[in-house]
Amino acid sequence: ANLITYCENIANGAHLFAQNNPESYKFIGRVFVNNKYFELAELFLKKAKDVCYVDPEVHFLLAKCSLHKNDLNSAIKSLKTSLEKGYGYYPAKKLLKEITN
């Protein structure tokens, strides 16, 4: 919606949101991934991984960041972790199949 200042305020206050909802870092990271701000996404997703390591979506989104950097090995590792933690998390399974075939 082109609300850059609004987004900056949310990103700058992420630590406050995370005090009440540990998944806040993941939500912010997902928005950055979906809008192709992969470097910013990775910052928030690494924090999310520290808080919610067992969340398969965090690893899936980190894989997308790795793919953007053409780091196939890291992407595959993240996707395998996603599948392990998410008991066959379908988006990770689908992406892993796409990048290894």
Kindly report, residue by residue over 8-65, the tens digit of the pLDDT: 888 888 989 999 998 999 999 999 999 999 999 999 999 999 999 999 999 999 999 9
Give 2-54 as a DSSP string. Answer: --HHHHHHHHHTHHHHHHH-TTHHHHHHHHHHHTT-HHHHHHHHHHHHHH-TT
Span of 5-14, 44-53, 76-85, 88-97 with lowest mean pLDDT: 5-14
Backbone angles phi, psi at 64, to 5 degrees: -65, -40
pTM flag (> 0.75): yes
Distance CA 29, CA 74 (A): 18
pLDDT score at 12: 86
Inter-residue contact 58 to 83 (CB < 8 Å): no
Residues 6+ apart with CB under 8 A from 11: 28, 40, 44
pLDDT score at 8: 85
